[in-house]
Structure 1
């Protein structure tokens, strides 16, 4: 009788182990980042009804993908003019005339997992009879916003652009320890960088206003960095 019981126990154990082991759910990965196709960077759009176009995203889990299109009136995308969710990589949206816009697209899977947002592109919708258009707001290069840096000097660098490609741009750079910088570090600067002296342990704020040769000005966003 004892032999029979042992045999049953031996054959029962593997079955118990097999039943106890379960397969894990696959990790839900975010969709890939898309590339913006149209409107291209710094484009002057004659028509204010615009067909936005971008590359298709892919999803490692094979999930269905939708796209969140954000169109803003400022480069940091805090003043959103339009947000639209679509399932294809194109959509036509009507906007106001005579406005500078900034747009990006984020892919989202059907489990609401978002990919990394695309780059931000600027464009302008020309108004009827408009001859001169204000430049786009400056785009930060370095140091990146809210970053930490080392050293006693820092090179502030940015990009400028204008949909009037023939315009000449100059820059007024404000820099200091005030959250809203009012100290003019450089005025009418034709290049896109300036070197500043800094101290360890301090946080600095800066912005760049962009002016075209007709006097039209775009007020820049305020950026900051901390010195280690």
Structure 2
């Protein structure tokens, strides 16, 4: 019995030591997660659908904000298509403007992405502009931009309203649209020479649909649209 009494305090001391020892990291708090900056919401120049008479273009945009007050960088991308697959110029800068020289007589599409060094914001809206070409009397319309359904949206099946926007620097041109729609990534022509910028289609549940809009002016010039998708529940 005496041996048992002597052992118990030793065990208590050991347990107390283990419980009070703590972790070996000094008890420091975990690091605060980084917050991505806001997206650039205002592209100042070139403005939407502008005809630029100079190919040396000073791009300018409004600053993004960052909740952590991190220093921000901006990546500007200029492409010859609205979905930015054919990028012809790309620069990263800590400023909110940059000078880029482009070719004449081409439709361009640009946007800006803000980054704090750890996380990127969503891309800004994409704007279109033209560089003036020598002797050009008619410009190709800009590629149509999507309004609804949003890219990769999930919708209830049934009647769906396809909505888009078209534009042309030749303000006197009349625009018409060829609408392509189907269940493959190369959708078939659904209706040609549409004068409105909306068209209703019928869908079934559990299906991914693909659609695109080709834009034509009254001089016979045409821009090919990108393919958009949505899925029905």
TM-score, normalised via structure 1 length: 0.87
Measure the CA separation in 2 of the matches of 1:107 and 1:149: 30
CA pair 171-21 structure 1, distance change in 2 beyond 3 A? same
Give the stretch that moved more between structures: 122-131 or 27-36.
27-36
Counterpart pick for 1:83 among 80, 85, 90: 90
The one-character-per-residue Cα deviations of 1:159-180 (angstroms, maximum 9, x if unpaired) are 1111222221111111122321
Aligned to 1:64: 71
2:30 to 12, 18, 24: 24
Q: Is 1:113 aligned with 2:124?
A: no
User: Do structure 1's residue 131 and structure 2's residue 128 form an aligned pair?
Assistant: no
Is 2:228 the counterpart of 1:223?
Answer: yes
1: CA distance between counterparts of 2:58 and 2:141? 23
Counterpart of 2:151?
Answer: 145
Match of 1:199 among 198, 204, 208: 204
* SS of corresponding position for 1:136: coil
Shift of 1:83: 0.6
Aligned partners of 1:44 and 1:164 also within 8 Å: no
In the TM superposition, residue 108 of structure 1 has moved relative to its aligned partner by: 1.3
Q: Which residue of 2 is the match for residue 10 of structure 1? A: none
User: Which 4+ residue blocks in structure 1 deviate beyond 3 angstroms?
Assistant: 13-17
The alpha carbon displacement at 1:219 in A equals 0.9
Change (3 A) 1:32 1:148: closer
Greater Rg over alpha carbons, structure: 2
Structure 1 residues 128-187: Cα deviation after superposition (integer angstroms, max 9, x where no partner) = 1111000011111111222221132111111111122222111111112232112x3222
**Cα distance per residue 1:35-93 (max 9 Å; x no partner):** 21100011111111100000112222222111101111110111111110111101110
Checking the alignment, whether the CA contact within 8 Å between 1:29 and 1:59 is kept in structure 2 is: yes
Number of residue pairs aligned between Structure 1 and Structure 2: 214
Corresponding residue SS for 1:145: coil
* TM-score under structure 2 length normalisation: 0.85
Counterpart-to-counterpart distance in 2, 1:58 and 1:148 = 30
RMSD: 2.0
Unaligned runs of 5+ in 2: 1-18
Query: In 1, distance between residues paired with 2:158 and 2:43?
Result: 38
Go from structure 1 to structure 2 and tell me whether the alpha carbon gap of 1:169 and 1:107 turns closer, same or farther (over 3 Å shift).
same
CA distance in 2, matches of 1:88, 1:117: 17
Aligned mates of 2:154, 2:69 — CA distance in 1? 39
CA distance in 1, matches of 2:146, 2:193: 18
Of 43, 51, 74, the match for 1:44: 51
